[in-house]
Amino acid sequence: MSANEVDPGAPRRTPRFEAPDWWIYRGTGRPIHDIDLAEILPDPPPWRTFHGGPVQENAAPPEDDGEAQRRLGSAGYLTEQHVDPHELDMVNAALYLRRPLLVTGNPGSGKSALAYRIAQELRLGAVLRWGITSQTELRSGLYSYDAIGRVQAAATSSVGTTAGPHDEPPVGDFVRLGPLGTAFLPARLPRVLLIDEMDKSEADLPNDLLSIFEEGEFTIPELARTWQRAPEVTVHAADPNRMVTVVGGRVACHAFPVVVITSNGEREFPPAFLRRCLQLDIPDPNVEKLAAMVANHLRDSHGNDHDHLIREFVAKRTEYGSLPTDRLLEAVYLATSGAYQADDVAWPRLVDSLWRRLSTVN
């Protein structure tokens, strides 16, 4: 094992700086097993206090299904040598203030990975990811209602019977909360919500998010209009195979979620949206951090971190302006798979094709 790979059982290296006492999140991604976040996290500011319920005190967040390992690598850890104190300041400030964190940076700089590292370190379960496209609307993140499916189910169940209106399929069977809606379910611990690539959205979406970010709740009209007849309705959550109860047609958070919003910096956001977010710009990872990332994802039989590939990648990144980190991982994977060797005459041509400036690709 090299110095760049983290052994969870090994003594920790001396950090580059002394961590302030108020930090809860330390940025390594190493799960903290000796704390209860709900107990050590200070109360929110009065203007960011939410009282949604009923809260299931003993309900743990759903476990990660392997997505964190895919994003962070088999170990998924960084050492204290690799963390950025400014990044830790902003993440911890977002935790304390219950504010969304708007994370900008070049593609491949680790913006999305930050959400998975927070969830892994603070043991907040599976990350809820809401991927944004040019067609994304607020409601798709909150919930969906399959009205046609319910009508078809009712028609099918009533064939050859004398079923009445009260024998219709339960409305909750046709309601599914989206990632955004699931994140705001009342819970003792916050969920981590990744709103990925916000700069792809239509112009109105950032402003549409302001209400739920401020109020911490939303209404499902299809459930609210029948709340007297059905005050509690069981619906599908965004988590696989999970059903949850919605009371009175209203979803209201108790613990404000840890919201990480990523942007490649391709557009400006409305001032009102920016006022509701804390902002963090993540620089491209340096040689040492790239080596740690490679060590988490890929190792060859000799434990070689391929420093020459990493340094060549950094040089190409400087020349081209930006290269996503996954292109480095792909080159190292090819080098360690046996398909190509560094002394192969085809190797320089292959690497150049992998690392060519993305804007020049037709």
Ranges of each domain in the chain: 37-140+174-281, 298-360
- Helix, strand, or coil (residue 88): helix
| Per-residue pLDDT, 200 | 93
CATH H superfamily, domain 37-140+174-281: P-loop containing nucleotide triphosphate hydrolases (3.40.50.300)
- Which is more confident, 315 or 281? 281
List Cα–Cα distances, 152 to 144, 159, 168, 171, in angstroms: 17, 11, 11, 13
pLDDT of 16 over the 70 cut: no
d(CA 226, CA 229): 5
Report which DSSP code applies to 56: B
Burial of 193 (0-12, 13-18, 19+ CB in 10 A): buried
| Per-residue pLDDT, 322 | 74
Whole-number percent of the chain with pLDDT over 90 = 50
- Say if residue 54 is preceded by a cis peptide, omega within 30 of 0: yes
Give the pLDDT confidence of 330-358 residue by residue, as tens digits. 888 887 776 666 567 777 788 777 877 65
pTM: 0.85
Average pLDDT over residues 68-92: 84
